Amino acid sequence: MLRRLAGLAILVAAALCGAAAASGWPERLAGHGGPVKSVTLSADERQALTASFDYSVILWDLSNGQSHPSKRLIGHDAAVNDARFLPGDTTAVSVGDDGAVLLWDLADGAVLSRVDTGDDKMLSLAVSASGRHVAVASWDRSAHLFEVRNGALVPAGRLTGHRNNVNAVAFSPDAETVFTGSSDGVIRSFARRDGALLREVHVHGWGINVLKLMAGGKEIAFGATDGTVAVVDIASGEIAKQLARHERPVLALALSGDGGLLASGGGDGQIRVYDARAWELIERYENPYGPVWGMALTGDRAVAFYAGLDDHVNAWQIAPRKPFEPVESSFPRRFQVADTDDPGALQFARKCSVCHTLTPDDGNRAGPTLYGVFGRKVGSLPGYPYSQALLEADFTWTEKTISDLFDHGPDVVTPGTKMPIQRLKSVEERNALVRFLKQATAPQGGPSQAEKEKAK
């Protein structure tokens, strides 16, 4: 059934390609080497930022209705979960699984400032209207506050008291109040200046995944793990509007620039767009290959950009609605392979393919291509930004060292690197993976790296 759906999606996409382009917006933002976690538009909507599992942020030029990567921002040591423009659109801030908060100069892609908060992941962030203040949701059960001073991030306190991970943050219009949403099911408000808890705004019970302050600053929308989407009156803490429930957790909310549209996206692959004043459902879209992790609505209310498990961001044309629409995703994805008789290929798909490719043409994802890896000195592939730990390591990738990597884990074999911990304790599974890699990564029509080294 899934294959038939995928085939239908491809046929429809071919027949209707150019739907988003016809509205003056690109059909997709393609350039990442891993699933995309978030997408945001600049104030003038001539640029976009996307954050990805491939450890990078990409700055996109949308000025001519097409999508062109302007800068690839490299600096995080793990998946990047969110990135936001600061006012003026010349600087940006990002957060990731590495617990780091980075301030970027978008003119040259340089890191202006970096703050490492620890090992807990930073899931999302908010920037105040002035651009002076940044709030970051952390899985250390707190929200971290920063000030932007003279091109640097200056820690300005923490908002504590939640009983579980903080997943979402939002500023009041005057930036005096910070709202937090947590896996403990509670939305809280804090005084930004001294971090004092003002009150529990709303207790939902199920985990709060996302927040979005509504126009005017008197209401706040939230999405929860039980699929709930609702709008809360901040003063009373009561539900002002209950919207349609998603079948799976709500993972994304987006508000149009004028505050007139609110969109929700969930783990069920569904996107719903509402008139945020009359609270009527305007349009609904479903990507059967969901989830929807991030969204952005264009100011003309024509397009919703949405991100998920694909290596690209898709554009869905909201208005004018098309009678038939492409589903710009393929299935199964490379890391969802299940119908192979080769156990090594299966392990590569599950353990390695999100971060690595096998051919020189595919380039790098979160990790370098594995093409020609056997016989290659660790940390030596030109053009890939290795961690200092790998640059200083002194061994060669062989059947044994690759097997050891999956037996003991990268934290033991290559301590201090940004490789995620992946282990295979089964000797048979490790041997199958090594056999597959040795065949799949072998250079075609030329000497291997080991042969080149011997010839020196």
Mean per-residue pLDDT, 251-256: 97
pLDDT band at 333 (very low <50, low <70, confident <90, very high): low
SS (H, E, C) 102-131: EEEECCCCEEEEEEECCCCCEEEEEECCCC
Least confident of 132-136, 160-164, 377-381: 377-381
Q: Which CATH architecture has domain 2-317?
A: 7 Propeller (2.130)
Q: Which pLDDT belongs to residue 82? A: 98
- Phi then psi for residue 203, to 5 deg, are -110, 115
* Burial (CB count within 10 angstroms: exposed 0-12, middle 13-18, buried 19+), residue 98: buried
Least confident of 57-66, 255-264, 414-423: 414-423
446: pLDDT strictly greater than 60: no
pLDDT band at 318 (very low <50, low <70, confident <90, very high): very high
337: pLDDT strictly greater than 80: no
Q: Which pLDDT belongs to residue 164? A: 96
- Site of tokens 């799976």: 248
Q: Which pLDDT belongs to residue 323? A: 63
- How high does pLDDT run on average in the chain? 87
**Which residues make beta-bridge pairs with 155?**
146
Least confident of 123-132, 294-303, 388-397: 388-397
Question: Which of 25-29, 32-36, 244-248, 415-419 has the highest mean predicted lDDT (pLDDT)?
Answer: 244-248
439: pLDDT strictly greater than 50: yes
Q: Which pLDDT belongs to residue 454? A: 46
| Peptide bond connecting 332 to the previous residue in cis, omega within 30 degrees of 0 | yes
User: Is the CB of residue 207 less than 8 Å from the CB of residue 164?
Assistant: yes
CA neighbor of 82 nearest in space, from 43, 35, 39, 28:
39
Least confident of 26-30, 243-247, 322-326: 322-326
Mean per-residue pLDDT, 206-219: 97
User: Is the CB of residue 166 less than 8 Å from the CB of residue 156?
Assistant: no
Compute the distance between CA of residue 50 and CA of residue 106 in angstroms, rounded to an integer.
13
Q: How many residues does the chain have?
A: 456
273: pLDDT strictly greater than 70: yes
pLDDT band at 239 (very low <50, low <70, confident <90, very high): very high
Q: Which pLDDT belongs to residue 450? A: 46
Between 423 and 330, whose confidence is greater? 423
pLDDT in tens, 388-418: 888 888 899 999 999 988 888 777 887 866 6
pLDDT in tens, 41-72: 999 999 999 999 888 999 999 988 888 899 99
Q: Among residues of the chain, what percentage have pLDDT more than 70?
A: 85
Q: Which pLDDT belongs to residue 324? A: 57
In the chain, CATH 1.10.760.10 sits at 338-455
Between 128 and 346, whose confidence is greater? 128
Least confident of 22-26, 201-205, 272-276: 22-26
CA neighbor of 15 nearest in space, from 330, 323, 283, 331:
323
pLDDT band at 353 (very low <50, low <70, confident <90, very high): confident
331: pLDDT strictly greater than 70: no
User: Is the CB of residue 243 less than 8 Å from the CB of residue 253?
Assistant: no
Mean per-residue pLDDT, 118-135: 95
Q: Which pLDDT belongs to residue 2? A: 34
Q: Which pLDDT belongs to residue 156? A: 98
Could you tell me how far CA 114 lies from the centroid of its own chain? 19
- List all residues 6 or more positions away from 26 whose beta carbon is below 8 Å from its beta carbon: 20, 62, 65, 66, 67, 315
Q: Among residues of the chain, what percentage have pLDDT more than 90?
A: 62
Q: Which pLDDT belongs to residue 12? A: 36
- Phi then psi for residue 275, to 5 deg, are -70, 115
> What is the CB neighbour count within 10 angstroms for residue 357?
20
Q: Which pLDDT belongs to residue 355? A: 76
Mean per-residue pLDDT, 254-283: 95
- List all residues 6 or more positions away from 65 whose beta carbon is below 8 Å from its beta carbon: 21, 24, 25, 26
Q: Which CATH architecture has domain 338-455?
A: Orthogonal Bundle (1.10)
pLDDT in tens, 78-109: 889 999 999 999 999 999 999 999 999 999 99
Mean per-residue pLDDT, 107-134: 95
Tokens of 216: 């005017």
Q: Which pLDDT belongs to residue 3? A: 38
**Which residues make beta-bridge pairs with 29?**
313
